[in-house]
Amino acid sequence: MNQTQTSSPSLVDQLWSGWHFPRIFSASRQALNLTKIGLATVALVSTFVVGRILDALWPGTEKVFGEIAAHVTESVNLVLGSASHISLSGVAAALVKLVSGLWWIAHEHPLYCLVYGIVVLAIWSLLGGAICRMSAMEFSRQEIISWRQALDYGWEKWIHYFLAPFIPVGIVLGIGLSLLVVSWIVGWTWWVASSIWGGLIFILALAGGAGIAFLVVGGLFGFPLMWPAVSAEGMGCMDALGRSYSYFYQRPERAVFYGFLAVIYGALVWVLVYLLLYLALFATHGFVSIGFSDLDKMWAAPRMGALFVVPTAVAPLEGSLRSTVTPFAIKVWVNLVIALAYGYLVSYFFTASTNIYYLLRYHVDDTEFDDVYVMASVDESGAGVAPASSGTAGEGGTVPFVSPPSVPPAAPSTSSDPST
């Protein structure tokens, strides 16, 4: 008699099935969407254009945007390079360098960074929110929505996308300002500083510092979850902020692991994308320069790490068309292709962040993956049309549904059986 033996699943199988690793890896395929890449490229180009315009209009000779762009590019390359070598310490050091450098620039040019940051955040709130909405619909319902539907949703929820990052920053500044005011009062009131009240006040200062640390750490790890929360749940900025902090602090081991895995895998994918981009530009330059000898005077041969290389010694070009239009057009097209590649990187970031949000929501709230907020549509007669499936109800955007009229049951047949 044969006895069936059931073997318990291995630790690897438990981690694979319980932690849903394939959901992270699928982000690279989901990010390879022309609409997502297009929206991300528009956001990147808009960020560049706004910086150049602000540099031209801002009084003074310093080009602040040039400093910001150079520092961000260098730091992102360090993050991706360290991640491709699976170096957690290198990734952490690169992120610290990115934040500290931006902090120094903001300290040196506070008004410029405030104006530039608000304008750029307004742009990314719309376009980044639209990418997150597309990712949420694809993850939960395997539905590819159009760019118009994504932008309509991003526009409707734009204020929540825009305000979500500001709230923790405002709270941190409020706590810091309160500590500053209290310390100033204690410093000028000697009898408070020399009495028991000074010790009690210092305990409150330590509590305020702990609150700042709580907000900063939760904000760094929870920021990528804020916009996916608005996109998946249709909720406001306060609710999205609460969920992002809650998911991180309730499952910190999963949040850190998912984030690290997404960075490592994304860096490996980016190495392949960058290699393909380099080979495409190198092949284009090599073959075109054979028949177009002046190409090297407009665009030098690309190198790894420097895809668009401006010639150091440019010989005079013959003809007014070559000296004006052609070099500018080559520069625009080459940089646009490079921007599309970086647009894929941005698309991957928002897609992976949305996937991580769904995974954390599943493990914290026990909410199924197919639960997503779907806005009601309105037909031509003005009656509400219910969506195919609906998830968590968000604020606003709902239309009262009109149920179809009930049909009375058919009367029973009175015909007799002829055989009786």
pTM: 0.78
What's the rounded mean pLDDT across residues 103-128? 90
Residue 270 contacts by C-beta under 8 Å, 6 or more apart in sequence?
80, 84, 345, 348
Locate 37 and state its tokens: 């890449």
* Residue percentage of the chain with pLDDT more than 70: 76
Confidence of residue 7 (pLDDT cuts 50, 70, 90): low
Alpha-carbon distance 12 to 100, whole Å?
38
pLDDT at 389: 43
Under 8 Å between Cβ of 97 and 78: yes
Residue among 105, 109, 120 nearest 52 (CA): 120
> Would you kindly state where each structural domain of the chain is located, as residue ranges?
31-156+251-365
What's the rounded mean pLDDT across residues 125-148? 93
Considering only 75-89, 219-233, 348-362, which range has the smallest mean pLDDT? 75-89
What's the rounded mean pLDDT across residues 403-416? 48
Q: How far apart are the first and last CA of the chain?
A: 59
What's the rounded mean pLDDT across residues 126-154? 94
Residue among 262, 229, 265, 268 nearest 245 (CA): 229
Considering only 129-138, 162-171, 241-250, 380-389, which range has the smallest mean pLDDT? 380-389
Locate 179 and state its tokens: 């500590």
Locate 375 and state its tokens: 């806005």
Q: Any idea how long the chain is? A: 420
pLDDT, tens digit (0-9, with 9 covering 90-100), for 321-366: 556 777 788 888 888 999 999 999 999 999 999 999 999 999 898 8
Which H or E run includes 3?
A: none
Confidence of residue 65 (pLDDT cuts 50, 70, 90): confident
**How many CB atoms are closer than 10 A to CB 196?**
8
Residue 96 contacts by C-beta under 8 Å, 6 or more apart in sequence?
none
Considering only 65-69, 198-202, 252-256, 401-405, which range has the smallest mean pLDDT? 401-405
